[in-house]
Amino acid sequence: MVEPATATQAAAPAVPQLKDELDIVIPTIRNLDFLEMWRPFFQPYHLIIVQDGDPSKTIKVPDGFDYELYNRNDINRILGPKASCISFKDSACRCFGYMVSKKKYIFTIDDDCFVAKDPSGKAINALEQHIKNLLSPSTPFFFNTLYDPYRDGADFVRGYPFSLREGVPTAVSHGLWLNIPDYDAPTQLVKPLERNTRFVDAILTIPKGTLFPMCGMNLAFDRELIGPAMYFGLMGDGQPIGRYDDMWAGWCTKVICDHLGLGVKTGLPYIYHSKASNPFVNLRKEYKGIFWQEEIIPFFQQAALPKDCTRVQKCYIELAKQVKAKLSKVDPYFDKLAEAMVTWIEAWDELNPTGAALPNGKAK
């Protein structure tokens, strides 16, 4: 039986790393009570809260946190017509938070994710581990059988080419979940009681050329290296599909990271995922995605970006072109999505002019 940690007080680090360089982006529609448990780990950091759903509802943020909060009205006001690329009534709206952030790093977490315990019973500071992952190199060109070689107590194994031991910068750190696993609706229906109790004490780089399902529940990334690729697509209200926001962002991100020689890590840290969403509701959201992904995956596996795409934005626009060209025959949704991808980049560049260093937005 796996349980969340309760005594997190003692575990807070003496000096919170990257305090002024990292924002925590949290989408929410309910409340932010879960922040109480994360307080010792999160309090030193600036939060960006993206309120989904009814903007007239007030989301109470626990005292003592430094935050800015955006609801749908804010998103419409700030982006104007470009707000159409931000999903409504879906946690995909979180990517608005990435766009307005002024920091180098982003950590995003769902509001039903709590602090997990490692096998010794110690509370896991997920943020600290993500930072470690992002600040140490990745090794996408050759697989190290002892996993992350930069970890204490680990190293490159015999046969690992020395020329590849410096690694590449890490753009994404993908964490995992104990308790409720991130299954799709059909699997949830067949195994409603399955819980992930296995603590796999490893971080590894996902090799170049390999795609993976990126879950947005417990995710961190270097915004300067890969931010514009983290568009979470058109989901939720008025869209034919849901629960593929993070998947879409993950596939785009991985293709671009592979092209630019950046690394993506997966594994530690674990968080404790407490809420199982309704599998019947999920099935309705995912239904089309289950068929579409059979076309989408080969598309991404074969996607090639031209050599002159050296900036993320350029890579992303190029991908959008290819989505329009190759996936619109699957469904007209992809036409809309391709356009939204371009709108997203335009909005990103507008809010993030190169060279400007801006202070945090104010809390609402």
Contact positions vs another protein (CB under 8 A): 119, 142-147, 153-164, 174, 176, 181-184, 187, 191, 194-202, 206-215, 243-244, 246-247, 250, 266, 286, 290, 293-294, 297
**Looking at beta carbons only, is 283 or 342 nearer to another protein?**
283
Taking the complex as a whole, the smallest distance from the CB of residue 323 to another protein amounts, in Å, to 17
Taking the complex as a whole, the smallest distance from the CB of residue 196 to another protein amounts, in Å, to 6
**Looking at beta carbons only, is 30 or 198 nearer to another protein?**
198
From residue 363, give the alpha-carbon distance in Å to each of 25, 61, 70.
Answer: 13, 10, 9
Taking the complex as a whole, the smallest distance from the CB of residue 359 to another protein amounts, in Å, to 36
Buried b vs exposed e over 241-275: b needs ≥16 C-beta within 10 Å? bbbbbbbbbbbbbbbbbbbbebbbbbbbbbbbbbe
Q: What angle do CA 223, 225, 228 make, to 5 degrees?
A: 60
**Looking at beta carbons only, is 200 or 358 nearer to another protein?**
200
Taking the complex as a whole, the smallest distance from the CB of residue 310 to another protein amounts, in Å, to 23
Taking the complex as a whole, the smallest distance from the CB of residue 120 to another protein amounts, in Å, to 11
> CA-CA distance, 349 to 312, in Å (whole number)?
11
278 exposed, middle or buried (CB, 10 Å; 0-12, 13-18, 19+)? exposed
> What's the half-sphere exposure (Cβ side, CA atoms, 13 Å) at 109?
28
Contact 32, 58 (CB under 8 A): no
DSSP reduced 3-state for 17: coil
**Looking at beta carbons only, is 217 or 347 nearer to another protein?**
217
**Looking at beta carbons only, is 190 or 363 nearer to another protein?**
190
Taking the complex as a whole, the smallest distance from the CB of residue 195 to another protein amounts, in Å, to 7
CB atoms within 10 A of CB 148: 23
**Looking at beta carbons only, is 159 or 355 nearer to another protein?**
159
**Looking at beta carbons only, is 57 or 191 nearer to another protein?**
191
> CA-CA distance, 132 to 154, in Å (whole number)?
15
Beta bridge partners of residue 46, listed in sequence order: 23, 66
Max intra-chain CA distance, the chain: 60
Taking the complex as a whole, the smallest distance from the CB of residue 252 to another protein amounts, in Å, to 13
